[in-house]
Amino acid sequence: MELFRFANSEYLWALLVIPVLTLFFVWSRIKRRQLLRKFGNEDTISQLMPFASRFRPVLKFAILMLALASVIIGIARPQFGAKLKKVKREGIELIIALDVSNSMMAEDIKPNRLDRAKLAISRLVDKLKDDKIGLIVFAGDAYTQLPITTDYNSAKLFLNSINTQIVPKQGTAIGAAINLAERSFTPDSKSNKAIIVITDGENHEDDAVAAATAAAEKGIVIHTIGMGLQQGSPIPVLRNGQTEYLKDGSGNVVVTKLDEATLEKVAAAGEGIYIRANNAQVGLNTLLDEINKLQKTEMDAMIYSEYNDQFQYFFALGLFLIILEFLILERKNRYLKNINLFSVK
């Protein structure tokens, strides 16, 4: 069994330049034909330029774009994991439940509550060693974004894809998120377990305190982080390309405020601690210190022990295509012009 991944997947965004260049190339070809028509009939112009080729520039551009794509994929470092093995690790199991309701787009925490939370989680993942981590997203309902795993690269990949549209039902169901997290730990695992709930605390869906109490009775520690400031902030929404603020049925701007009281009660019921985030820090480092105080137990983990780089093949293909593009002339060869390999009659 093999696992494919990109070691530097962020560079794949550079592939978006290819359709942009393609559109520009098509536009330039159309403009060129329009300019040539001003000089006279196309057949007459073709006779005046016997060595000009319509197809060769298109072929050269296509080859160049394939070369560019190959180089970008090579830079992203495609890898195959060839060896799957079981290893013994000492750690805990940690599940982060992240609020993705619309109120998390409020900008009292810069750049906004959700993006700041995602950045803090990414930095937390970088500091984990032998612990397992899982991700849950919730709004009006709760969903598993990443099952419990030791694959930190996958955790960051799934984290990057989180947005407020990922959960269709709006709301803030903290209790549902805790219940789902409780069921998401490794079955029959004796490892110490912790849940971190990151939210603005405006819970209107269920009894979060009761869910935290039930989880604590099973030995699961629940910490909470409050995203937002007490004075609150309006919720920006994008309509017709312009940023507006969410309004209620009466036309008043909705102001979302941090509900610290609820989050403090949830943390107390879950025998954890509550931390209020601000523009200086989110608080995950403090919670990581608390989590590291938990006794780490030995647990099995299946990992791909060796990842073999495949980038050299893409670089070689890119180099070959660049040389090929260089060798193909835009104009027909004087002596071989009657051998037409690049057009269909």
pTM value is 0.62
Would you call the peptide bond into 111 cis, given omega within 30 degrees of 0 as the criterion?
A: yes
Q: What whole-number percentage of the chain has pLDDT above 90?
A: 40
Residues 192, 218 within the same domain: yes
Q: Which domain holds residue 107?
A: 93-295
Region 300-319 average pLDDT: 74
Q: What whole-number percentage of the chain has pLDDT above 70?
A: 82
d(Cα 7, Cα 205) in Å, to the nearest integer? Answer: 40
Task: Establish if 345 belongs to a structural domain.
Answer: no
pLDDT band at 345 (very low <50, low <70, confident <90, very high): very low
Residues 286, 163 within the same domain: yes
Higher pLDDT, 309 or 277: 277
Residues 6+ apart with CB under 8 A from 211: 174, 175, 176, 178, 179, 182
pLDDT band at 336 (very low <50, low <70, confident <90, very high): very low
Hey, what are 85's tokens? Answer: 């093995």
Of 114, 118, 129, which is closest to residue 157 (Cα–Cα)? 118
Residues 205, 58 within the same domain: no
Residues 59, 183 within the same domain: no
What per-residue confidence (pLDDT) applies to 52? 60
Confidence check: pLDDT of 247 > 50: yes
Q: How many domains does the chain have?
A: 2
What per-residue confidence (pLDDT) applies to 1? 44
